[in-house]
Amino acid sequence: MGSRIVGGTQVSISQYPWQLYFTIGNYMCGASIISNTWALSAAHCVDGFSTSQMLLRAGTSTRGSGGTTHNIATGYIHKSYSDPDYDIAVVQVSNAFSFNSNVQAVGLTSSEPSAGTSVTTTGWGATSYEGSASNTLLAVTVQIVDRNTCNQAYGIITSRMICAGVNGGGKDACQGDSGGPLVSGSTQVGIVSWGNECALADYPGVYTNVANLRSWIKDATGV
Protein backbone atom coordinates (compact mmCIF):
# COMPACT_ATOMS: atom_id res chain seq x y z
CA MET A 1 0.00 0.00 0.00
CA GLY A 2 2.92 2.32 -0.64
CA SER A 3 2.68 5.48 -2.61
CA ARG A 4 4.32 7.75 -5.19
CA ILE A 5 3.64 10.95 -7.06
CA VAL A 6 0.76 10.97 -9.54
CA GLY A 7 -0.25 14.15 -11.36
CA GLY A 8 2.79 16.06 -10.16
CA THR A 9 5.41 18.33 -11.68
CA GLN A 10 9.19 18.22 -11.75
CA VAL A 11 10.87 20.23 -9.00
CA SER A 12 14.40 20.95 -7.85
CA ILE A 13 15.79 19.60 -4.60
CA SER A 14 16.56 23.23 -3.70
CA GLN A 15 12.79 23.78 -3.38
CA TYR A 16 12.42 20.77 -1.02
CA PRO A 17 15.93 20.44 0.44
CA TRP A 18 14.78 18.17 3.27
CA GLN A 19 13.76 15.42 0.82
CA LEU A 20 15.84 12.23 1.03
CA TYR A 21 16.08 9.23 -1.27
CA PHE A 22 15.94 6.16 0.96
CA THR A 23 16.94 2.69 -0.20
CA ILE A 24 16.20 -0.31 2.01
CA GLY A 25 17.45 -3.57 0.53
CA ASN A 26 15.94 -3.66 -2.97
CA TYR A 27 13.19 -1.19 -2.08
CA MET A 28 12.96 2.59 -2.32
CA CYS A 29 11.20 5.01 -0.04
CA GLY A 30 11.38 8.64 0.85
CA ALA A 31 12.45 10.32 4.08
CA SER A 32 12.99 13.83 5.38
CA ILE A 33 15.85 15.55 7.19
CA ILE A 34 14.78 16.72 10.68
CA SER A 35 18.26 17.57 12.05
CA ASN A 36 21.86 17.23 10.93
CA THR A 37 21.88 13.60 12.10
CA TRP A 38 18.24 12.43 12.10
CA ALA A 39 15.75 11.58 9.36
CA LEU A 40 12.03 10.80 9.52
CA SER A 41 10.32 8.06 7.50
CA ALA A 42 7.58 5.42 7.68
CA ALA A 43 7.77 2.28 9.80
CA HIS A 44 6.53 0.12 6.92
CA CYS A 45 9.59 1.12 4.89
CA VAL A 46 12.10 -0.20 7.41
CA ASP A 47 10.24 -2.87 9.37
CA GLY A 48 12.11 -6.19 9.19
CA PHE A 49 15.31 -4.72 7.75
CA SER A 50 18.66 -4.10 9.45
CA THR A 51 20.35 -0.70 9.41
CA SER A 52 23.16 -2.19 7.28
CA GLN A 53 20.62 -2.58 4.46
CA MET A 54 19.65 1.11 4.51
CA LEU A 55 21.14 4.11 2.72
CA LEU A 56 20.01 7.73 2.54
CA ARG A 57 20.91 10.11 -0.27
CA ALA A 58 20.65 13.86 0.29
CA GLY A 59 20.89 16.97 -1.85
CA THR A 60 19.96 15.66 -5.28
CA SER A 61 16.94 15.94 -7.58
CA THR A 62 17.95 12.79 -9.46
CA ARG A 63 16.93 9.40 -8.15
CA GLY A 64 19.87 7.30 -7.01
CA SER A 65 22.69 9.59 -8.11
CA GLY A 66 24.42 12.81 -7.03
CA GLY A 67 24.31 14.47 -3.65
CA THR A 68 25.76 12.75 -0.60
CA THR A 69 25.16 9.26 0.78
CA HIS A 70 24.63 8.46 4.44
CA ASN A 71 24.76 5.11 6.20
CA ILE A 72 22.40 4.45 9.10
CA ALA A 73 23.82 4.07 12.62
CA THR A 74 20.57 3.33 14.44
CA GLY A 75 16.83 3.71 14.09
CA TYR A 76 13.54 3.35 15.89
CA ILE A 77 10.02 2.28 14.93
CA HIS A 78 7.08 3.28 17.12
CA LYS A 79 6.49 0.45 19.60
CA SER A 80 2.75 0.54 18.83
CA TYR A 81 3.31 0.16 15.07
CA SER A 82 0.79 -2.21 13.52
CA ASP A 83 0.50 -1.63 9.79
CA PRO A 84 -0.88 0.86 8.90
CA ASP A 85 -1.29 2.53 12.34
CA TYR A 86 1.60 4.36 14.05
CA ASP A 87 3.45 4.21 10.72
CA ILE A 88 6.50 6.21 11.77
CA ALA A 89 10.23 5.62 12.06
CA VAL A 90 13.34 7.68 12.68
CA VAL A 91 16.89 6.84 11.61
CA GLN A 92 20.20 8.37 12.68
CA VAL A 93 22.94 8.76 10.08
CA SER A 94 26.52 7.83 10.85
CA ASN A 95 27.87 10.78 8.83
CA ALA A 96 26.03 14.04 9.46
CA PHE A 97 24.18 15.98 6.78
CA SER A 98 26.10 19.07 5.66
CA PHE A 99 23.53 21.82 5.27
CA ASN A 100 23.55 23.98 2.12
CA SER A 101 20.98 25.25 -0.38
CA ASN A 102 20.10 21.66 -1.35
CA VAL A 103 20.25 20.09 2.13
CA GLN A 104 18.14 21.51 4.95
CA ALA A 105 16.04 20.27 7.86
CA VAL A 106 12.27 20.54 7.62
CA GLY A 107 10.21 22.00 10.45
CA LEU A 108 7.86 19.65 12.31
CA THR A 109 4.31 20.71 13.07
CA SER A 110 2.77 20.41 16.52
CA SER A 111 -0.75 21.28 15.32
CA GLU A 112 -2.77 19.35 12.78
CA PRO A 113 -3.68 21.37 9.67
CA SER A 114 -7.38 21.94 9.13
CA ALA A 115 -9.39 20.40 6.29
CA GLY A 116 -8.90 22.27 3.04
CA THR A 117 -5.31 23.32 3.79
CA SER A 118 -3.10 23.03 0.71
CA VAL A 119 -0.16 20.70 1.28
CA THR A 120 2.56 19.28 -0.96
CA THR A 121 4.15 15.84 -1.12
CA THR A 122 7.35 14.98 -2.96
CA GLY A 123 9.19 11.89 -4.11
CA TRP A 124 10.56 9.71 -6.89
CA GLY A 125 7.80 7.12 -6.70
CA ALA A 126 5.59 5.77 -9.43
CA THR A 127 3.72 8.19 -11.66
CA SER A 128 0.78 5.79 -11.98
CA TYR A 129 -0.43 2.83 -9.95
CA GLU A 130 2.11 -0.01 -10.40
CA GLY A 131 3.89 2.15 -12.97
CA SER A 132 7.59 2.97 -13.07
CA ALA A 133 9.42 5.26 -10.68
CA SER A 134 10.42 8.78 -11.67
CA ASN A 135 14.10 9.59 -12.25
CA THR A 136 13.54 13.20 -11.26
CA LEU A 137 11.99 14.59 -8.09
CA LEU A 138 8.27 15.30 -8.43
CA ALA A 139 5.88 17.32 -6.27
CA VAL A 140 2.10 17.43 -6.14
CA THR A 141 -0.15 19.79 -4.19
CA VAL A 142 -3.28 18.37 -2.59
CA GLN A 143 -5.68 19.42 0.17
CA ILE A 144 -6.20 18.05 3.67
CA VAL A 145 -9.37 15.96 3.76
CA ASP A 146 -11.59 15.92 6.84
CA ARG A 147 -10.85 12.77 8.88
CA ASN A 148 -14.52 11.74 9.04
CA THR A 149 -14.85 12.01 5.27
CA CYS A 150 -11.67 9.99 4.82
CA ASN A 151 -12.90 7.37 7.27
CA GLN A 152 -16.08 6.93 5.23
CA ALA A 153 -13.83 5.72 2.41
CA TYR A 154 -11.52 3.52 4.45
CA GLY A 155 -13.14 2.77 7.80
CA ILE A 156 -9.85 2.54 9.73
CA ILE A 157 -8.61 6.13 9.92
CA THR A 158 -7.17 6.84 13.39
CA SER A 159 -5.92 10.01 15.04
CA ARG A 160 -2.41 8.93 13.98
CA MET A 161 -3.46 9.43 10.36
CA ILE A 162 -4.22 12.46 8.22
CA CYS A 163 -5.66 12.37 4.72
CA ALA A 164 -5.02 14.54 1.67
CA GLY A 165 -6.20 14.52 -1.92
CA VAL A 166 -8.16 16.42 -4.55
CA ASN A 167 -11.78 16.18 -5.65
CA GLY A 168 -12.06 13.64 -8.43
CA GLY A 169 -8.63 12.13 -7.77
CA GLY A 170 -5.72 12.28 -10.18
CA LYS A 171 -3.18 13.69 -7.72
CA ASP A 172 -1.54 11.58 -5.02
CA ALA A 173 1.57 9.92 -3.72
CA CYS A 174 2.19 6.35 -4.94
CA GLN A 175 4.54 3.34 -4.58
CA GLY A 176 8.07 4.46 -3.81
CA ASP A 177 7.03 7.74 -2.21
CA SER A 178 6.32 6.01 1.12
CA GLY A 179 8.07 7.60 4.09
CA GLY A 180 8.44 10.90 2.30
CA PRO A 181 7.18 14.25 3.59
CA LEU A 182 3.83 16.00 3.27
CA VAL A 183 4.51 19.67 3.95
CA SER A 184 2.70 22.94 4.44
CA GLY A 185 5.30 25.47 3.34
CA SER A 186 8.53 24.33 5.03
CA THR A 187 6.75 22.48 7.85
CA GLN A 188 6.11 18.75 7.69
CA VAL A 189 2.56 17.71 8.59
CA GLY A 190 2.50 14.13 7.30
CA ILE A 191 4.51 11.09 6.22
CA VAL A 192 3.46 9.18 3.09
CA SER A 193 1.86 6.01 4.46
CA TRP A 194 -0.86 4.19 2.50
CA GLY A 195 -3.96 4.38 0.36
CA ASN A 196 -6.21 2.51 -2.06
CA GLU A 197 -4.03 2.24 -5.17
CA CYS A 198 -3.02 5.80 -6.17
CA ALA A 199 -4.99 8.95 -7.02
CA LEU A 200 -8.38 7.25 -7.15
CA ALA A 201 -11.42 9.49 -6.83
CA ASP A 202 -12.95 9.30 -3.33
CA TYR A 203 -9.85 7.59 -1.88
CA PRO A 204 -7.45 10.26 -0.62
CA GLY A 205 -3.87 9.46 0.27
CA VAL A 206 -3.32 8.57 3.92
CA TYR A 207 -0.36 10.02 5.78
CA THR A 208 1.05 9.55 9.25
CA ASN A 209 -0.09 12.52 11.35
CA VAL A 210 3.09 14.32 12.47
CA ALA A 211 1.26 16.55 14.97
CA ASN A 212 -0.16 13.54 16.80
CA LEU A 213 3.26 11.85 17.03
CA ARG A 214 5.39 14.97 17.53
CA SER A 215 6.19 14.07 21.15
CA TRP A 216 7.32 10.57 20.10
CA ILE A 217 9.74 12.09 17.57
CA LYS A 218 11.20 14.33 20.26
CA ASP A 219 11.50 11.46 22.73
CA ALA A 220 13.23 9.26 20.15
CA THR A 221 15.60 11.84 18.62
CA GLY A 222 15.70 14.92 20.85
CA VAL A 223 14.54 16.95 17.83
Per residue in 184-203, pLDDT tens?
Answer: 999 999 999 999 999 999 99
Shared domain check, 204 and 111: yes
Q: Which of the residues 87, 172, 177, 193 is marked catalytic?
A: 87
Shared domain check, 129 and 95: no
Mark whether 87 is an active-site residue. Answer: yes
Q: Which of the residues 44, 61, 134, 177 is marked catalytic?
A: 44
- Does residue 4 have a pLDDT over 80? no
Distance CA 8, CA 146 (A): 22
Total structural domains in the chain?
2
Shared domain check, 22 and 95: yes
> Could you give the residue ranges of the DSSP H alpha helices within 33-146?
43-46
Mark whether 202 is an active-site residue. Answer: no
Radius of gyration, alpha carbons of the chain: 15
Distant-in-sequence, close-in-space partners of 29: CB < 8 Å, separation ≥ 6: 2, 22, 23, 41, 42, 45, 46, 176, 177, 178, 179, 180
Q: For position 138, which CATH number holds?
A: 2.40.10.10
- Does residue 102 have a pLDDT over 70? yes
pLDDT band, residue 5 (cuts 50/70/90): confident
Shared domain check, 98 and 71: yes
User: What is the predicted pLDDT for the residue at 166?
Assistant: 95
Mark whether 78 is an active-site residue. Answer: no
Classify strands 107-108 and 187-194 as parallel, antiparallel or unpaired: parallel
pLDDT tens, 14-73?
999 999 999 999 999 999 999 999 999 999 999 999 999 999 999 999 999 999 999 999
- Domain limits for position 152: 106-209
